[in-house]
């Protein structure tokens, strides 16, 4: 990674403003999954061990216009205090006189959580005045929020214009593993793309095809490619506007692309729908593809055999319905047994490997859905670009 990290700067006695990704699931005012908070612990602990104080910033959810108790980071601060084993102070805002007063009084070893950055409209507009006020709270800036690095917001990009900006360990790890997939991948390299839509993944498909040896396409995306091959997908989700694009991709790279050969189909889009398994060219009228079938999984297994690097983004079926989850879970198990370096894009794929019980057997499970997708597209992420080069 060609960006400076927390290891490269002297933090002793400094107030370190750190952007973390505490956009965590909540229910009844409690954090229901603390994975993202745990992921930030090594960087927080390291900064504290260097004799600094830590001021944490994050967004949570999508509050509409101004402060809203439902989107307060108070519960996240309490969860963090439990994990760190030390008190975490809570500021009433992310800028302003009160936040400034608490920040200026911090001693080495103290931790302060600022309130939700999205309580200010200027956050998502990357308002430089807001960014300047945030920056005034600290002496140095650390970005450890890979999940928000694709957004040029005041707390991810703007602040870095006013303070020396370096990456935390989580950001470093994300860039290292995702970088393996885009910069100089090991071969054989197999990429797997799923999820519902091809339209938001065309650039990813093209970027990966230029680098990988095989590209497995599953999920709703596969329907559009199968339709491009002339198959009648009946009631399956097909993006009509993307069929021509899929045709031209197949014309150039058919030898690299692996599409489903059989499918678990349903008579309606419902968890309790009737299900059967058929070849993809034999879907009856009124039925739709919901998951990949056993022959397809055999083809996936053959493609993954001997792979050195596997990158997976997006489920290959409607895995939120138990009847149609087996393809995605079986694929997760194949990756766990593959012996390859396995890099899992965030979002649904991360949730799938967790539900399949194999998350710990993956080399790297990304904490960023949209960010990992944009990185695989070959885009430079604003939150990363803003950091100091080595």
Residue of 36, 118, 201, 214 with catalytic role: 36
368 counts as catalytic: no
Residue of 194, 317, 347, 383 with catalytic role: 347
**Residues 6 or more apart from 181 whose CB is under 8 A from it?**
189, 191, 208, 211, 309, 311, 343, 376
Residue of 61, 179, 370, 378 with catalytic role: 370
Residue 142 contacts residue 19 (beta carbons within 8 Å): yes
Q: How far is the first Cα of the chain from the last one, in angstroms, to the nearest whole number?
A: 9
Residue 161 phi, psi dihedral angles, 5° rounding = -80, -15
Residue 267 contacts residue 286 (beta carbons within 8 Å): yes
CA distances in angstroms from 253 to 209, 211, 247, listed in the order given: 7, 12, 10
Could you give the CA distance from residue 117 to residue 169 in angstroms, rounded to a whole number?
22
Helix 243-253 and helix 219-228, axial crossing angle in degrees, nearest 10: 80
197 counts as catalytic: yes
**Residues 6 or more apart from 295 whose CB is under 8 A from it?**
261, 262, 279
Strand partners, 318: none
Compute the chain's Rg from CA coordinates.
23
36 counts as catalytic: yes
Residue of 197, 301, 333, 379 with catalytic role: 197
347 counts as catalytic: yes
Residue 327 contacts residue 317 (beta carbons within 8 Å): yes
Residues belonging to the active site? 36, 197, 347, 370
């Amino acid at each position: 990674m060609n960006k400076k990290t927390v290891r490269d700067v002297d933090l002793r006695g400094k107030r370190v403003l750190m952007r973390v990704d505490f956009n965590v699931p909540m229910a009844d005012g409690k954090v229901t999954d603390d994975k993202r908070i745990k992921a930030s612990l090594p960087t927080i602990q390291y900064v504290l061990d260097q004799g600094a104080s830590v001021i944490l910033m994050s967004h949570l959810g999508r509050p509409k216009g101004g402060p809203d108790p439902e989107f307060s980071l108070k519960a996240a601060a309490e969860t963090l205090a439990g994990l760190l084993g030390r008190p975490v102070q809570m500021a009433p805002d992310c800028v302003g006189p009160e936040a400034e007063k608490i920040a200026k009084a911090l001693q080495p070893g103290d931790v302060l959580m600022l309130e939700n950055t999205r309580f200010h409209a200027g956050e998502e507009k990357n308002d430089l005045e807001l960014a300047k006020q945030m920056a005034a709270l600290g002496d140095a800036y650390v970005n450890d929020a890979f999940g928000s690095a694709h957004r040029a917001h005041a707390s991810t990009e703007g602040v870095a214009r006013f303070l020396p900006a370096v990456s935390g360990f989580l950001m470093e790890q994300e860039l290292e593993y995702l970088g393996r997939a885009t910069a100089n991948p090991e071969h054989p390299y197999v990429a797997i793309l799923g999820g519902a839509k091809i339209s938001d993944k065309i650039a990813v498909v093209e970027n990966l095809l230029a680098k990988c040896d095989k590209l497995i396409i599953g999920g709703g995306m596969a329907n559009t490619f199968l339709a491009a091959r002339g198959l009648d997908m009946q009631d399956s989700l097909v993006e009509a506007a993307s069929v021509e694009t899929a045709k031209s991709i197949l014309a150039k790279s058919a030898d690299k692309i692996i599409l489903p050969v059989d499918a678990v189909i349903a008579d309606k889009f419902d968890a309790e729908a009737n299900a059967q398994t058929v070849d993809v060219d034999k879907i009856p009228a009124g039925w739709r593809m919901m998951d990949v079938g056993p022959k397809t999984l055999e083809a996936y297994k053959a493609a993954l055999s001997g792979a050195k690097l596997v990158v997976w983004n997006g489920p290959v079926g409607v895995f939120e319905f138990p009847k149609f989850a087996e393809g995605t879970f079986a694929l997760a198990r194949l990756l766990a047994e593959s012996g390859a370096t396995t890099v899992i894009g965030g979002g649904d794929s991360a949730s799938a490997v967790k539900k399949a019980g194999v998350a710990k057997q993956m080399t790297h499970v990304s904490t960023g859905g949209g960010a990992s997708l944009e990185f695989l597209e070959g885009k430079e992420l604003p939150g990363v670009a803003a950091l100091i080069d080595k």
